[in-house]
Amino acid sequence: MHLSDEGIIFRQTKTGDGRRMILLFTKKYGKISVGAGAGERGKSRSSLALRPFTHGSYQIFQGRNYYNLDKAETIESYYSIGEDLDKYMYASYVLELTEKLIPEEVPQPGIFSLLIEFLAELSQRKKQYETLVLAYEVKVLRILGMFPELTACTSCGHKENLHHFSISSGGMVCDDCVKNQRDSLIYSAKFDIVGILNYFALNSLKSFRKIALDDAVAGQLQTIIRDYISYHLDIGGLKSESIFMNRF
């Protein structure tokens, strides 16, 4: 059977026989592993469409238990991401995170569209890329049904004095409850975490063009979100997350 779909390359690996396996995030079929022969390398149009961060159109042969790439064409290359080290690092992180968060062969059209939008916004953005990365992460959590509880205390249910975020209970904790908890994964938010997370969840990535979080706030929020994701979604360490490690 022949499939035709848009996709984004997560990564490529060489196999022993001179071929390559491409992990492709397709719009209709989700994340799939597609074999590609060494022969395509010579065809320049196809090889461009196999670069990282490229949004392409792919024709794929589906065998009984394998996929093989027939043809690839570039829709949008987002080449500017590869020309800026910071953009490249953030885009690599977002691709690796997304790859880990979605299961194989399950369509995720919402996350697919969001990823395209992220790449488009990142390529035209001039600075403070981390705000965009945070907005992407928050939106992905929402699409996956993993958005934290922000409206009531996750311990007692009260809606007042929610000033602490508990990674393990998945949301806010009130001032009273935080005194009785010995949980080491509670952050006392020094900023309006509820307001920021709700804003990120509800507004399109385009609306962040003129918005940038203060660096200290972005750093704290990134720590909270990374801990939250690794606690609730078993994704292990990411090779690309070292960008967040040595800033403080």
| Binding region for Zn ion (CB under 5 A) | 153, 155-156, 174, 177
Residue number with CB closer to Zn ion (176 or 214) = 176
| Closer by beta carbon to Zn ion, 153 or else 225 | 153
Nearest CA among 129, 135, 133, 140 for reference residue 25: 140
Q: How far is the CB of 59 from Zn ion (least distance, A)?
A: 55
Instruction: Give whichever of 150 and 243 is closer to Zn ion, judged by the CB atom.
Output: 150
**Token reading at 166:** 């508990």
Helix axes 215-232, 193-202, angle to 10 degrees: 80
Q: How far is CA 163 from CA 63, 110, 122, 173, in A?
A: 54, 31, 32, 7
Q: Which residue has the tokens 């990365």?
A: 133
- 156 or 211, CB closer to Zn ion? 156
- Least distance in angstroms from the C-beta of 178 to Zn ion: 8
Rounded to the nearest whole angstrom, what is the least distance from the CB of residue 187 to Zn ion in the complex?
15
Least Å from the CB of residue 214 to Zn ion: 28
Comparison of 38 and 156: residue with beta carbon closer to Zn ion: 156
CB 88 within 8 Å of CB 81: yes
Question: How far is it, in rounded angstroms, from Cα 60 to Cα 3?
Answer: 5
For residue 171, the minimal CB distance to Zn ion (Å) is 11
Residue from 192, 154, 193 nearest 172 by CA: 154
